[in-house]
Amino acid sequence: MAPHNLTSNGNASIVPCENGFLDSSSLINSEKAVKEIVEQPLVEGIEDHLIEFSEAMRTVGKALRRAAEGKASAQAEASEWKRKYELERERNLQLENKVLTSVEHNGNCTEKKVENSEQHLKLMNGTNQKSQLYRGKNGIYSHEVLRDREQNSYSNVHSKLIRKASFKLHWSCNGEKNDQHKHDIVSFDKGNISTAERSSKQICLKWESPPQTVLIITKPNSSSVKVICAEMVRWLREKHLNIYVEPRVRTELVAESSYYNFVQTWKIEDGISLLHEKVDFVVTLGGDGTVLWAASMFKGPVPPIVPFSLGSLGFMTPFYSEKYKECLKSILQGPISITLRHRLQCHVIREAAKTEYETEEPILVLNEVTIDRGISSFLTNLECYCDNSFVTCVQGDGLILSTTSGSTAYSLAAGGSMVHPQVPGILFTPICPHSLSFRPLILPEYVTLRIQVPFNSRGHAWASFDGKDRKQLAPGDALVISMSIWPVPTACEGDSTNDFLHSIHHGLHWNLRKTQAFDGPREAI
């Protein structure tokens, strides 16, 4: 609304202002105009009208003043964000120049010197990053995922020519033409605590540079999967992509035709641990089990996974193999709607260990950890703690600790609830408990759970991780479980919510029944 000034004849006129806001001079003029009107000699018959008009003008003046204050506050906040952005950009550019200079200077260093120099290793392993990647004991990674990686100076010539594609994740919302929204999760403004509204947002992956390398993981012992894999490799080769497969798959392809000699693979265990540095995205051909196997290959960061359905169940495989060309074209072009599937990090601690995490290497699971009684005829006896607080004692067939992605697996069969996979929680589901009041729980993702086999237990317990790597837990042993910092990003056909609802409708035939007939008895009016 524009301010009002008095003309020479005493009438009010409107003075437009830039951007719809008043500056300080306009506010002063507006207030003077109101004051002059009020102080003018009143003419008989218009006194009531002038009083109403003066009150309205005061209200308008207050509203315009608040609008001007809001504009000033918004401009100050925008300037602060711009300053932070420029500082961060300048810091990243300085770090990149420093790393490139170091790489050129030290390009002829021997492998031994690279391994012995921690500082050189940090510089050679990543560029344009806020935090260095550290691979700790037992191959579990920490800190942040690298946005862009260069190959080590002592790698082969072909690898030097391959540069990993970079991407960024941002919150997006259906129906929004722009992506300008709050990025903070919790804000504290003028004594009021609020959270950013993200309930309608889906996570989107946008390539900042085109992907160049793809890893294909296939379901073994399937003739239909072999045919689709061979066709997909040919098609991806035409798109000038570098292709990695498992050693078993490469042997099968080369045995079929020498044309597939360009396909790359790895020979030693260390080659798997470095796959995330070479691969831009992963394609799985199979069912949910193939997705679990692909995720288990990565102990740290996991590249985006594009799962194609070639199995019996498809809670994680929304894409159809018959339309792989259209699907992969959209994936390569981007942006991609993805689901971030959380994983659990598990440590088995033996009673004889002097310190925690001493003897057993950690295990990452995407679905669930199951602790059961095995072949023993006795009930399991498990003491459960949550952040060092006693929760309960489990007496029954066992206990399931599941991610939300695994809520539609064993946990569902044991009576647990189905949960959207992007809900960051841990499902606590008993298996046939010998208690009528033992109901499943959903715990927040930040807690640490400790499942202890007490010394007075009649038998041993057994722990399995995503259905494999079965380990015996003797009295005194414990299993420590927490949420891993490395989720598994899987591509969506539509978006995360639609894919989840589609999977439970078509995979489980959820809540399907005949519709009630309309010609039966009716309620009396």
Q: In sequence order, what DSSP letters do the residues of 234-255 get, joined into one string?
A: HHHHHTT-EEEE-HHHHHHHHH
Is residue 291 scored above 90 in pLDDT? yes
What gap in Å lies between CA 373 and CA 375, rounded to an integer?
6
Span 473-496, pLDDT tens digits? 999 999 999 999 899 999 998 888
Quick one: pLDDT at residue 147?
A: 38
What gap in Å lies between CA 291 and CA 32, rounded to an integer?
73
31 residue type, one letter = E
CA distances from 128 to 93, 131, 155, 211 (A): 7, 9, 20, 18
Q: What is the mean pLDDT of the chain?
A: 76
Task: List phi, psi (to 5°) of 479.
Answer: -125, 120
Exposure pattern of 342-381 as b/e (b: 16+ CB <10 Å)?
A: bbbbbbbbeeeeeeeeeebebbbbbbbbbbbbbeeeebbb
Is residue 418 scored above 80 in pLDDT? yes
Topology classification of domain 344-486 = Tumour Suppressor Smad4 (2.60.200)
Domain 213-339 architecture: 3-Layer(aba) Sandwich (3.40)
Question: Which DSSP helix (H) or strand (E) runs through 432?
Answer: strand 425-433
- Where residue 438 falls among pLDDT bands split at 50, 70, 90? very high
What gap in Å lies between CA 271 and CA 523, rounded to an integer?
71
Nearest Cα neighbor of 60 from 31, 39, 37, 24 is 31
| DSSP-assigned beta bridge partners for residue 464 | 370
Domain ranges of the chain: 4-83, 213-339, 344-486
Span 43-76, pLDDT tens digits? 555 677 777 788 888 888 888 888 877 777 777 7
Read off the DSSP letter of residue 139: G
Catalytic residue among 148, 189, 270, 288: 288
For residues 425-435, give the mean pLDDT: 94
Question: Which residues, in sequence order, are CB contacts of 107 under 8 Å at separation 6+?
Answer: 153
Is residue 237 scored above 70 in pLDDT? yes
Query: Tokens at residue 403, please?
Result: 């991610």
Quick one: pLDDT at residue 103?
A: 52
Quick one: pLDDT at residue 355?
A: 57
What gap in Å lies between CA 173 and CA 178, rounded to an integer?
9
Query: Tokens at residue 54, please?
Result: 């003066």
Q: CB pairs under 8 A, 24+ apart, for 470-473?
A: 471/348, 471/360, 472/374, 473/348, 473/371
| pTM of structure | 0.64
Is residue 249 scored above 70 in pLDDT? yes
437 residue type, one letter = S
For residues 290-313, give the mean pLDDT: 89
Three-class secondary structure of residue 58 per DSSP? helix
Is 288 a residue of the active site?
Answer: yes
Quick one: pLDDT at residue 138?
A: 41
